[in-house]
Structure 1
Amino acid sequence: MENLKTNLANSQVGTTGPVLIIGVGLLGASLGMRLSKLGVKVFLRDISPVVTALACDMGAGIQWDENCPSPALVVVATPPDVAARQVISALKEFPESLVTDVASVKAVILTEIKEARADISRYVGSHPMAGRERSGTAFAREDLFESRPWVVVPSEHTSAEAVLAMRTLALDVGSMPLQLDAETHDQSVALVSHVPQLVSSLLAAQLAKAPLESLGLSGQGLRDTTRIASSDPALWAAIIAGNGEHVAKVLRCFADDMQQVLHALEHPGAAFPSPSLVGAVTLAMRQGNLGVARIPGKHGGAPRRYQEVMVKVPDIAGSLARLFQAVGDTGINIEDLELEHSPGAAFGVARLAIEPNAANLLAEKLAVKGWEIVSF
């Protein structure tokens, strides 16, 4: 622990290093890229030499070998089904190092580490709530963790130094650290991450045998709700399996609500429109409105309501850049952005989320610059 304490005392970037990242997929490579840019010495180790070489080429660090100095921090960024074994191995191999993992399940990993009687005082679980629908080293991004929650999950035996180091590391890479116990973490991610992934995939599965004329009508709503359905099946199977109990509870509640709507659809009664059907759908939609309103706003702050300014954007190279420049010239900040565009269409629609008191002004200034305002 002295090596770690010295690094903490002298550090300006949380952990001065060296840092060893085991597993350089999306999260591991992204973390290596960010830490390397901060001037931290990062070493990389992966079961695949090709993957390691790619991560090195992307600036995530340099390949680990037996001549490298002992790391102050080991980050296990492997899939959750092998993460516990890698943590246990790292705690034994590097007896002076802090060890963390970034898997999206925590309780099952913590249990396995305890059963192995490893030095759990040097282990602190963590989970950056960051990712993409595409996994793998090639999709790593240096800014992946920017403004994302990073959950620090200590056990009752984790040292205070280890917790401090992980909270500092999260801040250094641009994340917002928060602390939860393993059980609360797993309950939470079942609701906000794991079940949404399953629901998106189950919805997208209905498209597999859909007629082409139906798919030709696809709009932004379908794209929004199925975006994450292109995620890695093997990785998500391991994640769901590691959090099965909590995922099942959330899915059961979802299925119960779905069953109420389904029953009303299948038994509408003679009247049209059916009062029972209209009531069931209205209730489901209103509950959805309430749920969406509770999702935190930017940077994890309180939910805020913005006004949308919808701008027509020609499907011509550089159009978005010109729009952003035009908005920037007004001095008005874009709080959020969505782009609706169908393949083959001559234009798309940019939905700019703006502070309500600035929406009218932005629309007027963009119209003067020649932009066609769809609505605001």
Structure 2
Amino acid sequence: MRTAVVIGTGLIGTSAALALAGRGVTVHLSDHDPAAARTAASLGAGTYEPPEGPVDLAIVAVPPAHVADALADAIGRGLARAYVDVASVKGGPRRELESRGVDVSSYIGTHPMAGKERSGPLAATADLFEGRPWVLTPTRETDHEVLNLALELVALCRAVPVVMDADAHDRAVALVSHTPQLVSSMVAARLEEAEESAVRLCGQGIRDVTRIAASDPRMWVEILSANPGPVADVLAGIAADLEETVHALRGLQSADASDRRRGAKGIEDVLRRGNAGRDRVPGKHGAAPAQYETVAVFISDRPGELARIFADAGRAGVNVEDVRIEHATGQQAGLVQLMVEPRAAAVLTAELRERGWALRQQ
């Protein structure tokens, strides 16, 4: 791949353009808002000048509702040898193209499983896709050269290719992406009218659950409008669980001992099912879930403190697998939780204590 066009210079389009441009591909940028394309170009993502002839690959990075229109226009103009889109829904756009009689042999639907709460070209980074799954949905009609160019795109963005059926993909993202967004927003919505005294008690748990509730509502309306059925199916299952959980909690309030026992069993059941589901979430680099031990370190809110912790962990020869920072309400301090391999926990604990860090007993 030597040349590409990116149509839509938001977060995903600009990030892909930055990755390609950084690896020597000549990237042309296009957007219905010329200012967005100019902004992406100013970041080093490419040029907003149109190509002089067909490019190797056209990447359509527009909202799902506009994917079919953008692809039909690009294919009709002979803009590229191959075409991909990066929308989060795959079945609908392809069916719409086929219903219009568009030759889809030069097109393959794709979806990089990466994103941020922020949108727009200024949120883009060249490493956004690194190590992340990038779904490809070829069909029997897909030309081999098109598939190879799509795989090259994934490789240049340093993502991990995953081949799926388009409708299976849409059901999967309904479960692992679209429904979590709605549930996060629903939990966060409970805070809108909450007493200030309650909000001040927010800790890391509520921050974890509501992090993605900061996402752009307009963008998510477009995404959910393109995949409403599978999302509704998942939410219906959650609604059934919620109804049973509410009934179990009411049982815990009962004066009858048998009702309380049934209520406790119902709550334990949903929590254990949650444990089992969480255990299936892939671990680092997509490997099987790993069990880490946590070393919790008190930290002051001063520049360089976090870097010093990691430097001390490095001196101990310990690799930090994951990290979580919990800020103390109303204080210039917090707690850093370092997740490490079980055999490394004692080594790291001893090293940090020797260097004067205050640790919390787990």
Return the TM-score normalized by structure 1: 0.93
Write out aligned runs for 1:198-277 (5 A): 198-268=182-252, 269-271=254-256, 274-277=260-263
Match of 2:34 in 1: 49
**Residue identity (%):** 40
- Picking from 17, 20, 27, the partner of 1:32 is 17
Asked if 1:141 is matched to 2:125, the reply is yes
Moved more, 294-303 or 337-346: 337-346
How far apart, in 1, do the equivalents of 2:168 and 2:328 lie?
41
Which secondary structure does the structure 2 equivalent of 1:68 belong to? coil
Matched, 1:363 2:349: yes
1:125 Cα offset (Å):
0.4
Match of 2:331 among 329, 345, 368: 345
Q: Which residue in 2 is equivalent to 1:6?
A: none
SS of aligned partner of 2:105? helix
Shift of 1:96: 4.7
2:57 matched to 1:73? yes
SS in 1 for 2:55: coil
1:113 aligned partner, one-letter code: L
Q: Match of 1:12? A: none
Letter in 2 for 1:31: A
Q: Secondary structure at the match of 1:120?
A: coil
Partner of 1:63: 48
One-letter amino acid of the counterpart of residue 349, structure 2: A
Checking the alignment, whether the CA contact within 8 Å between 1:311 and 1:375 is kept in structure 2 is no
Distance 1:93-1:343 versus aligned 2 partners, 3 A rule: farther
Work out the CA distance in 1 between the residues paired with 2:184 and 2:49.
38
Alpha-carbon distance in 2 for matches of 1:371, 1:196: 37
**Distance (Å, rounded) in 2 between the aligned partners of 1:98 and 1:167:** 12
- Give, in whole Å, the separation in 1 of the partners of 2:336 and 2:80: 52
Tell me, what secondary structure is at the counterpart of 2:62? coil
Cα distance in structure 1, aligned partners of 2:45 and 2:312: 35
> Does the CA-based 8 Å contact 2:58-2:80 persist in structure 1?
no
Specify the SS of the correspondent of 1:72. Answer: strand
Structure 1 ranges of 4+ moved more than 6 A = none
Indicate yes or no: 2:68 matched with 1:84: yes
2:300 aligns with: 314
Compute the displacement of 1:142 (Å): 1.4
Q: CA deviation at 1:343?
A: 4.7
CA deviation digits over 1:272-304, x for unaligned, max 9? 792122111111111111011000011111111
TM-score if structure 2 supplies the norm length?
A: 0.96
**Alpha-carbon distance, 1:64 to partner:** 3.0
Q: Which runs of 5+ in 2 are unaligned?
A: none
2-structure distance, mates of 1:249, 1:211: 33
Root-mean-square deviation (Å): 1.4
SS across alignment from 1:308: strand
2:81 alignment partner, one of 90, 93, 97 = 97
